[in-house]
């Protein structure tokens, strides 16, 4: 009798903690996804200022700068939601990343330019911005993986239905061109 | 923390008990109450003001308005790593010292501080700085900072109290046993011996506690740095650089040594292995840490199918 009671209480406690663990991971995943948005928004806001700051010094590379601005405006315009929306957003953002990395490569090509205070600052800010987005995605992927693993693993999977836990998608790089990009290591000083 | 208070209560009340046994009058346990009170207050004080005390002791100044490129870079790097770790951005402090080192302090991720020395900013490249900051944020995320900072303050308090008591005892003199307490002779003797031994080992015990906790945590923070940056080799090369410049970090006192990324005292113990070093060093041997990180790095490269030279930061 007592054994049965203790067993029921123990199982009950386990269900509660497993349920709460899943809910907590679910919310962390949602939050981590929002963080990516925050960082993308930050990049949109930053780019016009940065480009304005170096416009004078980089007049001869007007085309590269304009490409950046154009890609930025394109990315701001995308305002869709749902799985299709995420695809569109990530396409526009990837285009912007491409334009920015071309700008950084261009800057690398002119050693004289790097001596100017503004340009080295631009370089640092761009590197940092790209890093922030990358790390926000990394955090999202890590948290989502943890969440997915948890809800699929054996004892917890019994509670997964109760917690409305569903598999979340990881953030992936879609087009092959972007995947091939990692080239110039700008993090070296 | 509770252990600390209880230990002090034993020191105080135990002393009173012995005193009461050995003398006929003096029934009021003033020493016990006093010492327990002192312990409670220091423990509370250590917990609440620990971070400020540690930062103050190193002479760090807060970086609120970055001016130079290096300062801007460190602010950016800290923000990036805070994103990677999923914690709020800690406050950033600069320690005016040419020796490379870094430490973290605070109560929880919402209230944390990261301090780096000027020397670290000069010798590390961006990747290495990132790895070091990630290591410190690992401490923050694990809540090591709370434990370590409190321990740092407590070790200081124990040393202080013992010094004070020692002076008082030499001045006042302890009651000699056997003069009045004939009835409870052996018991008093044993208790007195235990009590005195406790007094002697008090600082040692607290020190050992700090050490045992801190070495384990260093490996964990190294691993977390690798998780956040996905670049364990950067931390390995940063540690190599820091070790290479192993002049003692003069502005960091021994009380806060276990908070730093590498032993600021430049003790040779840290670099040796074996039983003694295992027990008494604040940090695991540098060579062990570096080789573990390199192991992670090679495993990662193998998985990605890249070559070593292409992504290893130099």
> Rounded to whole angstroms, how far apart are CA atoms B200 and B203?
7
For B112, residues 6+ apart whose C-beta sits below 8 A from its C-beta are B87, B90, B91, B104, B105, B106, B140, B145
Cα–chain-centroid distance for residue B101?
A: 14
Q: Is the pLDDT of residue B46 over 90?
A: no
Q: Is the pLDDT of residue B211 over 80?
A: no
Largest CA distance in chain A: 86
User: How much of chain B, in percent, has pLDDT values that exceed 90?
Assistant: 8
Q: Is the pLDDT of residue B10 over 70?
A: no
Contact call for B83 and A187, based on CB within 8 A = no
Q: Is the pLDDT of residue B172 over 50?
A: no
> Rounded to whole angstroms, how far apart are CA atoms B182 and B179?
7
Residue in A182, A5, A175 with CA at minimum distance from that of residue A87:
A175
Closest chain B CA to residue A182: B311
Q: What is the pLDDT of residues B175-184, one digit of tens each?
A: 444 444 445 5
What single string gives the DSSP state of each residue in B80-104? HHHHHHTSPPPEEEEE--SS--EEE
Q: Which of B83, B125, B311 faces A139 most closely, judged by CB atoms?
A: B83
Q: Is the pLDDT of residue B213 over 60?
A: yes
Listed range (A39-48, B31-40, B173-182, B241-250) with the worst mean pLDDT: B173-182
Q: For residues B90 and B185, which has the higher predicted lDDT (pLDDT)? A: B90
Q: What is the pLDDT of residues A66-106, one digit of tens each?
A: 888 888 888 888 776 666 777 777 788 888 888 888 888 88
Kindly list the structural domains of chain B, giving each domain's residue range(s) and its CATH number in brackets, ordered by start: 2-53+148-199 (no CATH), 57-146+212-305 (3.30.2010.10)
- Residue B307: predicted pLDDT: 46
- Residue B253: predicted pLDDT: 58
For B33, residues 6+ apart whose C-beta sits below 8 A from its C-beta are B12
Largest CA distance in chain B: 82
Q: Is the pLDDT of residue B308 over 50?
A: no
Q: For residues B76 and B176, which has the higher predicted lDDT (pLDDT)? A: B76
- Residue A108: predicted pLDDT: 78
User: What ipTM did this prediction achieve?
Assistant: 0.78
Distance (Å) of CA A118 to CA A52, A56, B174, B216, B309: 11, 10, 72, 44, 31
A90 shares contact with chain B (CB less than 8 Å): no
Q: Is the pLDDT of residue A170 over 60?
A: yes
- Residue B5: predicted pLDDT: 60
Q: Is the pLDDT of residue B311 over 50?
A: no
B89 shares contact with chain A (CB less than 8 Å): no
Listed range (A173-187, B58-72, B246-260) with the worst mean pLDDT: A173-187
E strands, chain B, are: 61-62, 91-95, 102-108, 111-117
Q: Is the pLDDT of residue A183 over 60?
A: no
Q: What is the pLDDT of residues B238-281, one digit of tens each?
A: 888 887 776 666 666 555 666 677 766 555 445 555 555 555 56
Contact call for A188 and B313, based on CB within 8 A = yes
- Residue B17: predicted pLDDT: 62
Q: Is the pLDDT of residue A5 over 60?
A: yes
For residue B16, give the H/E element and its range. Answer: helix B2-22
Q: Is the pLDDT of residue B212 over 60?
A: yes
Contacts made by residues A87-95, CB under 8 angstroms, sequence distance 24+? A87/A174, A89/A40, A90/A171, A90/A174, A91/A174, A91/A175, A93/A40, A93/A133, A94/A173, A94/A174, A94/A175, A94/A178, A95/A71
> Rounded to whole angstroms, how far apart are CA atoms B15 and B34?
11
> Order of strands across the sheet with B111-117?
B61-62, B91-95, B111-117, B102-108
Task: Give, in degrees to the nearest 5, the angle at Cα B270 between B269 and B272.
Answer: 65
Beta bridge partners of B93: B62, B115
Average pLDDT across chain B, whole number: 72
> Rounded to whole angstroms, how far apart are CA atoms B165 and A137?
56
> Rounded to whole angstroms, how far apart are CA atoms A159 and B197?
54
Q: Is the pLDDT of residue A127 over 70?
A: yes
Which residue in this structure is represented by tokens 């045992």? B212
> Rounded to whole angstroms, how far apart are CA atoms A132 and B81?
8
Kindly list the structural domains of chain A, giving each domain's residue range(s) and its CATH number in brackets, ordered by start: 22-180 (1.20.1440.20)
Q: For residues B54 and A156, which has the higher predicted lDDT (pLDDT)? A: A156
Closest chain B CA to residue A38: B83
CB B94 within 8 A of CB B115: yes
Q: Which of B86, B311, B314 faces A32 most closely, judged by CB atoms?
A: B86
- Residue A98: predicted pLDDT: 86
Q: How confident is the model at residue A188 (pLDDT cuts 50, 70, 90)?
A: very low
Using a CB-CB distance cutoff of 8 angstroms, which residues of chain A are in contact with residue B69? 120-121, 124
- Residue B281: predicted pLDDT: 65
Closest chain B CA to residue A128: B76
- Residue A139: predicted pLDDT: 92
Q: Is the pLDDT of residue B22 over 90?
A: no
């Amino acid at each position: 009798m007592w054994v049965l009671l203790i067993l029921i209480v123990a199982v009950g406690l386990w269900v509660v903690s497993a349920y709460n663990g899943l809910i907590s991971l679910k919310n962390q995943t949602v939050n981590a996804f929002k963080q990516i948005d925050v960082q993308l928004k930050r990049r949109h806001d930053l780019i016009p200022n940065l480009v304005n700051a170096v416009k004078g010094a980089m007049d001869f590379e007007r085309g590269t700068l304009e490409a950046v601005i154009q890609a930025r405006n394109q990315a701001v315009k995308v305002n869709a939601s749902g799985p299709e929306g995420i695809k569109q957003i990530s396409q526009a953002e990837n285009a912007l990343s491409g334009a920015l990395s071309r700008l950084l490569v261009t800057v690398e090509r002119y050693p004289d330019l790097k001596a100017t205070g503004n340009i080295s600052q631009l370089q640092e800010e761009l590197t940092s911005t790209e890093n922030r987005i990358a790390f926000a995605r990394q955090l999202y992927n890590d948290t989502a993986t943890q969440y997915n693993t948890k809800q699929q693993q054996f004892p917890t999977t019994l509670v997964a239905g109760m917690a409305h836990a569903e598999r979340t998608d990881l953030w992936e790089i879609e087009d092959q061109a972007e995947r091939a990009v990692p080239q110039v290591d700008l993090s070296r000083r | 923390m509770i252990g600390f208070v209880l230990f002090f209560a034993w020191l105080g009340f135990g002393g009173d008990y012995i005193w009461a046994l050995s003398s006929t009058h003096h029934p009021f346990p003033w020493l016990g109450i006093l010492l327990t009170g002192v312990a409670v207050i220091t423990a509370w004080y250590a917990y609440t003001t620990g971070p400020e005390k540690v930062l103050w002791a190193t002479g760090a100044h807060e970086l609120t308005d970055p001016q130079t490129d290096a300062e801007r870079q460190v602010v950016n790097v800290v923000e990036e790593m805070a994103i990677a770790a999923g914690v709020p951005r800690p406050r950033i402090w600069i320690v005016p010292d040419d020796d490379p080192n870094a430490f973290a302090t605070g109560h929880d991720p919402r209230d944390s501080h990261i301090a780096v020395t000027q020397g670290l900013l000069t010798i590390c490249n961006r990747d290495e700085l990132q790895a070091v900051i990630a290591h410190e944020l690992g401490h923050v995320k694990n809540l090591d900072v709370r434990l370590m900072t409190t321990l740092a303050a407590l070790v200081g308090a124990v040393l202080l109290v013992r010094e004070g008591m020692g002076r008082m005892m030499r001045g006042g003199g302890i009651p000699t046993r056997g003069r009045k307490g004939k009835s409870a002779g052996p018991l008093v003797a044993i208790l007195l011996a235990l009590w005195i031994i406790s007094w002697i080992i008090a600082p040692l015990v607290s020190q050992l506690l700090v050490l045992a906790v801190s070495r384990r945590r260093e490996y964990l923070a190294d691993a977390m740095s690798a998780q956040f940056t996905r670049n364990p080799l950067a931390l390995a090369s940063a540690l190599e650089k820091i070790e290479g410049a192993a002049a003692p970090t003069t502005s960091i006192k021994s009380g806060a040594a276990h908070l730093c990324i590498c032993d600021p005292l430049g003790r040779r113990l840290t670099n040796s292995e074996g039983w003694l070093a295992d027990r008494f060093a604040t940090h695991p041997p540098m060579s062990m840490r570096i080789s573990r990180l390199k192991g992670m790095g090679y495993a990662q490269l193998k998985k990605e199918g890249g070559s070593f030279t292409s992504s290893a930061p130099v």
